[in-house]
Structures are given as C-alpha cells and as structure tokens.
C-alpha cells in the first residue's frame, strides 16, 4: 500500500537511485531483508511474505509447538550447566522462579506480570530492594540464554525497573574490636577467624581450602576455582603461615578446616558463622559485622598501611579495579601527596605588592616591615601517624608568620 510521499510500505531502494530494491520484514522481534531485482518484484515479494507471516508460516521455528519450552524445563537445563562456586546462588533463584512460574511457557511470560510480582515482593517486606534486584537479575540471565537459543524473541525482564542500590558504609573491625573478638573465641575457633583476617579469603574459599593446595615453602595458597572462575594464588603472611603450621588437621583430613562430624568433608562455613562466629560477636559487643567484614578488614588494613590499590586488587582477587576502589577513601595520604606534587609551592604565596585579588578594602597584603628570610624559618615537627601528617613546606611555614 502506497503511503504519503509515494513510498511503499516495507520496500526501500538502497542506496537511493541504484535500482536495487529491498524488502524489509519485521516480526516477533526479528528483522529480515530480501533483495529484489526491481520495484515491482519487491512489491510482490513483500505481499507474499506478509501473507506467510499472518498464516504463521514464516519463521516457523517461532510457531512450532514442539519447540515450546516451559520455564521450569528451561531452568533445569540452565542450572545443570552451572558449576562455578560464584554462581551457587543461581540455584536458589532458579528454584524460586520455577516454583512461581514453572508451568508457564517462556513466550507466555510478560513484563506486566513480572512487575506485579515485583510489587508483591516489596509489599511483603521480607526481602530488601537489593535482594529483589538479585532475583530479577537471575531471571534476566536465564531468559537471555533462551534468546540466544532461539526460544524467545525478547526478554520480558526489560519491562521491569530495578531499584536503585546506594553504596552502604564499608564496615571493618578496629584493633579494639579484634582484641575483644579474640577473647570471645576459643583458640581453635580464633585460628579460623584470624586466618580470614590474615588472608582476606571468602567464606567458601577458606572452608573449602585443601592441604594439597598449600605451599608453605613459597607461602602460597592456591584457590583452584575462585568466584571469578579463575585459579587464584593467595600470598600468605608470616602470621597466616604460622597458623597453618599449628594446625594438626593435615594428619587426618584433606581440608584445612574439616567438618567435626566427618574428616573427609570440609566444615560448613555457614554453620561455623551461625554457631560460633555470630555468638562471639554478640559476646564481644560488636554490632553490624558479618563474616565478610573480616575480608573488608583485611583490605582496609592493607590500604591504611600504604599498600597501593592495584596490589590490594591482586590480594583480594577482584576481577576489576572497581570493587577495590571502595577502599581508597581509607588512604588520604596518597591523595594529599598528589596534591602537593601539583602545588605551586612558594609561587602560590604573594609576598610583595604584585597583582592579585583584593581582600576587603586593601588592594595588597600588608606585611610586617621585618622581612623574614626563608632560611630563618625554624624547623617544625613532623608527624608520623599513617603518613597523614607531612613536614610543612617552607612556604606554608612562612605563611604562619604573617600577621
């Protein structure tokens, strides 16, 4: 059908004036172009493919019922291929969606329905907005895999608006809190806690660590499969090596921290946290801390000790620098040093009647007649706490002598 301007729907000459005509078909989120020898042929071809589209004979894989897959069946296929420890929560999210929408075909799930589910989850107040985002992010990932397999034309999760996730306060333990925590734990349990403080390992990494991955001669612990899906080599401090040497579990278990019920199995990290670590936190009067706080403490102490952020990234096993940048605010010393390097120094101080901005009604600074030579400026004490206090420059000392 001709439209305004003499253009026909669905056909176009590309490039214009070349005599080459194309037919454009767009259906179910997919686009297809057909080349025609002339305009008349393009019109006939367009009419034919539109009829096939209405009769659902075009893109037959989209309308073949034998390829219709339920969400439960698709989630089962996806979860069978997930082996990385970093994706273990996907099994939890998959069970949730399988129970809620498992009987639905993938093509029957709509964005409107998902928005209603999101609203009900918020109304129940049993999950935080951050957690709700994780559920829908998991579903989005599952459905993106279905799109890649040609089972779904588009992702309905695109119609769901995720909640904003502000960055919370970075919690780490102070020296006083660490001392109180040590008093609240038995020597055996303190060894496991102190090892986390010395290495910054994740909960699963520590309690699944094996003796055959430890090299005390080189001071290395190998994590065969980290959260990022890569092998990671953790450098052990002297204190961490001492902790391992004092452990006797190597005589009867392949694991550094074996299960108290079965030496052939690793200790369940979550059980240790719930039954041992959290009661010790309460006894020590430490609020707002979790097991992951130990990992934050490791990184925070490294940054405050002057370790550069790139090295901290390697120690933490972060795949990108973005996660490690959260700790930069703990080390203002390197920022202060950078500012001093870019400073004009003495040139920034107006010592005569040169041009400059006026202060009040005076056009120039009035300096005492007694000229103070830079060489006569007395030495000032230099602070040494965390590198935060630096020796003042001669120019800054000179400013202190001005009226």
Q: What's residue 33's pLDDT?
A: 79
Mean pLDDT of the chain: 78
40-91 confidence digits (pLDDT tens): 888 888 888 777 777 665 554 444 444 578 999 999 988 886 666 556 688 8
Continuous H helices in 55-186: 71-80, 89-101, 111-124, 129-148, 175-184
Catalytic residue check, 292: yes
Mean per-residue pLDDT, 225-245? 84
306 and 254 co-located in one domain? yes
Which residue in the list 208, 227, 296, 301 is annotated as catalytic? 227
5 in a structural domain: no
Q: What's residue 166's pLDDT?
A: 65
Residue 102 has pLDDT above 70, yes or no: yes
183 in a structural domain: yes
> What's this model's pTM, rounded to 2 decimal places?
0.54
Q: What's residue 395's pLDDT?
A: 41
The count of domains in the chain is 4
Q: Which comes out higher in pLDDT, residue 180 or 226?
A: 180
Which residue in the list 43, 208, 295, 296 is annotated as catalytic? 295
Which residue in the list 58, 135, 172, 202 is annotated as catalytic? 202
169 in a structural domain: no
Q: How confident is residue 100, by pLDDT bands cut at 50, 70 and 90?
A: very high
Q: How many angstroms separate the CA atoms of 89 and 265, rounded?
A: 21
6 in a structural domain: no
296 and 224 co-located in one domain? yes
Q: How confident is residue 339, by pLDDT bands cut at 50, 70 and 90?
A: confident
251 and 183 co-located in one domain? yes
Residue 198 has pLDDT above 70, yes or no: yes
Percent of the chain with pLDDT over 90: 32
105 in a structural domain: yes
Q: What's residue 79's pLDDT?
A: 86
Q: What's residue 5's pLDDT?
A: 53
Catalytic residue check, 91: no
Which residue in the list 115, 233, 318, 392 is annotated as catalytic? 318
Q: What's residue 350's pLDDT?
A: 61
Q: What's residue 329's pLDDT?
A: 67
Residue 12 has pLDDT above 60, yes or no: yes
Q: How confident is residue 370, by pLDDT bands cut at 50, 70 and 90?
A: very low
Which residue in the list 30, 76, 130, 292 is annotated as catalytic? 292
Q: What's residue 55's pLDDT?
A: 65
231 and 316 co-located in one domain? yes
Say which CATH number the domain at 136 has: 1.10.150
166 in a structural domain: no
399 in a structural domain: yes
113 and 152 co-located in one domain? yes
Q: How many angstroms separate the CA atoms of 195 and 206, rounded?
A: 8
Residue 360 has pLDDT above 70, yes or no: no
Catalytic residue check, 295: yes
Please identify, among 292, 314, 330, the residue that sits at the C-terminal boundary of a domain: 330
Say which CATH number the domain at 242 has: 1.10.443.10
321 and 181 co-located in one domain? yes
155 and 249 co-located in one domain? no
Q: Is 172 helix (H, G, I), strand (E, B) or coil?
A: coil
Compute how many other C-beta atoms are within 10 angstroms of the C-beta atom of residue 364: 13
244 and 295 co-located in one domain? yes
Catalytic residue check, 227: yes
Least confident of 151-160, 275-284, 298-307: 298-307
| DSSP designation for 266 | B
Nearest CA among 272, 294, 278, 288 for reference residue 178 = 294
Find the angle CA(277)-CA(282)-CA(284) to the nearest 5 degrees: 90
326 and 337 co-located in one domain? no
CA 148, distance to chain mean position in Å, is 25
Residue 401 has pLDDT above 50, yes or no: no
249 and 375 co-located in one domain? no
Please identify, among 273, 307, 330, the residue that sits at the C-terminal boundary of a domain: 330
Please identify, among 330, 364, 380, the residue that sits at the C-terminal boundary of a domain: 330
The enclosing H or E element of 13 equals strand 11-13
Q: What's residue 91's pLDDT?
A: 86
Q: How many angstroms separate the CA atoms of 223 and 315, rounded?
A: 12
Mean per-residue pLDDT, 360-375? 41
Catalytic residue check, 270: no
109 and 206 co-located in one domain? no
Interacting residues of 250 by C-beta distance below 8 A, sequence separation 6+? 211
200: containing domain: 175-330
Burial of 37 (0-12, 13-18, 19+ CB in 10 A): exposed
88 and 224 co-located in one domain? no
């Amino acid at each position: 059908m001709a439209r305004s301007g003499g253009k026909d729907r669905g056909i176009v000459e590309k490039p214009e004036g070349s005599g080459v005509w194309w037919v454009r078909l767009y259906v179910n989120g997919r686009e297809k172009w057909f080349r025609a020898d002339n305009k008349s042929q393009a019109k006939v071809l367009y009419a034919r493919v539109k009829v096939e589209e209405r009769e659902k004979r075009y893109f037959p894989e989209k309308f073949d019922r034998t390829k219709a897959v339920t969400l439960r069946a698709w989630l089962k296929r996806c979860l069978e291929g997930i082996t990385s420890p970093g994706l273990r929560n996907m099994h939890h999210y998959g069970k949730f969606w399988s129970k809620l929408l498992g009987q639905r075909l993938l093509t029957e799930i709509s964005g409107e329905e998902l928005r209603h589910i999101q609203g009900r989850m918020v109304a129940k107040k049993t999950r935080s907005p951050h957690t709700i985002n994780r559920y829908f992010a998991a579903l989005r990932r599952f459905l993106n895999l279905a799109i890649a397999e040609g089972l779904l034309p588009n992702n309905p999760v695109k119609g769901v608006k995720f909640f904003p996730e502000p960055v919370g306060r970075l919690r780490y333990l102070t020296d006083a809190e660490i001392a109180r925590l040590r008093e609240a734990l038995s020597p055996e349990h303190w060894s496991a806690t102190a090892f986390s403080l010395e290495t910054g390992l994740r909960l699963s990494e520590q309690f699944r660590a094996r003796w055959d991955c430890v090299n005390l001669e080189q001071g290395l612990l190998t994590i065969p499969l980290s959260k990022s899906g890569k092998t990671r080599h953790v450098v052990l401090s002297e204190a961490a090596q001492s902790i391992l040497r004092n452990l006797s579990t190597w005589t009867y278990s392949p694991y550094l921290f074996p299960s108290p019920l079965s030496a052939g199995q690793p200790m369940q990290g979550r059980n240790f946290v719930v039954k041992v670590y959290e009661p010790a936190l309460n006894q020590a009067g430490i609020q707002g801390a979790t097991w992951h706080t130990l990992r934050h403490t490791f990184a925070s102490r490294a940054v405050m000790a002057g370790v550069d952020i790139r090295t901290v990234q390697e120690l933490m096993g972060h795949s990108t620098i973005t996660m490690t940048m959260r700790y930069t605010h703990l080390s203002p010393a390197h920022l202060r040093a950078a500012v001093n390097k870019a400073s004009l120094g003495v040139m920034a101080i107006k010592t005569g009647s040169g041009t400059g901005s006026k202060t009040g009604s005076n056009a120039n600074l009035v300096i005492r007649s007694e000229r103070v030579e830079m060489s006569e400026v007395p030495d000032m004490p230099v602070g040494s706490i965390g590198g935060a206090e630096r020796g003042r420059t001669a120019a800054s000392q000179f400013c202190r002598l001005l009226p």
